[in-house]
Amino acid sequence: MTRRELLFDGNEKQVYATDDDKLVIFRFKDEITAYNNVKRAKLKDKGIITNAVSSLLFEYLKDRGVDTHFVERIGEREQLCRKICIIPLELIVRNRVAGTEAMRLGLPEGSEPASVILNLRYNNDTLGDPLINDTEACALGIATPADLKVVYSTGLRINTLLKDLFARAGIILADFKLEFGRASDGSIIVSDEISPDTSRLWDAQTLEKLDKDRFRLDLGDVADSYKKVYERLKAAVK
Ligand code: 5GP
């Protein structure tokens, strides 16, 4: 597959056109950013690890019938993906309370809610990705009630599958973010990435953080923790 012009240059990823107008190439950079891009750094080989983790997880989901934009990993930092029309929503799936949810509801970090929490966010950097409810998402023309049903049910299905995989890897899947897009046939599919950049992953024994919180909170060993996640997942999927 030939890589053609750069379509989008994001903080941590680039998207390139290909010679097939239904496919794009995602390229993972070594940049790491947090707090809406206020904090940023370069982390050697981070793009290689996030591509490896996200490819592994998307393959795992694909094998279990979840429709995503991922086609195949085509290089250390690159994956081939289906071209989608971005839906500007983020779905946050939470098995444990952490981050903004802990702050917003005044709950202790790590507490386990009685059921899975789903938050919908408007993906808008200028506004800082605010929470949005279903009526707002529909009123703004971002999604229909039927679209939201797919978004929520897909989020819960992915949570069930990934919680189990991470548990076998000795990791608690505390929370994660999903993004969605509309495929050429109109169906809603999962897009973007799932990696330690977009999730909270805690060692099941020690509760050590193995995700982007290591960067957000200056805990050090960011790349080593990401590598640990990849090695453990690789062993768990076998
Ligand atoms: P929180 O709402 O606690 O900040 O984030 C919840 C989960 O979603 C975390 O795993 C966090 O990494 C992920 N997440 C939320 N928004 C973003 C975002 O804009 N970028 C990335 N990379 N992850 C996000």
Model confidence at 74, in pLDDT bands (50, 70, 90)?
very high
Atom of ligand 1 nearest to the CA of 213: 12
Question: Pocket of ligand 1, candidates 11, 177, 216: which has the most ligand atoms within 8 Å of its Cβ, to mutate?
Answer: 177
CA pair distance 150, 189, nearest whole angstrom: 9
Q: Is the CB of residue 228 below 6 angstroms from any atom belonging to ligand 1?
A: no
Q: Is the CB of 177 under 6 A from ligand 1?
A: yes
Closest of 2, 5, 6 to residue 14, by C-alpha: 6
Predicted confidence band at 1 (pLDDT cuts at 50, 70, 90)? confident
- What Cα–Cα distance (Å) separates residue 141 from each residue in 75, 84, 137, 172? 37, 17, 6, 36
Coil, strand or helix at 129: coil
Q: How far is the CA of 197 from the centre of ligand 1 (A)?
A: 8
Decide whether any atom of ligand 1 lies within 6 Å of the 193 Cβ.
no
Pairing of strands 199-203, 171-182: antiparallel
Once rounded to an integer, what is the mean pLDDT over residues 29-40?
95
pLDDT at 64 over 90: yes
Q: Does the beta carbon of 198 lie inside 6 Å of ligand 1?
A: yes
What six digits make up the tokens of 232? 């453990």
Average pLDDT over residues 64-91: 98
Centroid of ligand 1 to alpha carbon of 1 (angstroms): 32
Say if ligand 1 is within 6 A of residue 12 CB.
Answer: no
Cβ neighbours for 97, distance < 8 A, ≥ 6 positions apart: 105, 107, 108, 109, 110, 111, 112, 113, 117
Please give the Cα distance from 189 to 179 (Å, whole number): 9
pLDDT at 238 over 90: no
Q: How far is ligand 1, taken at its centre, from the CA of residue 199, in Å?
A: 7
Determine if the pTM surpasses 0.85. yes
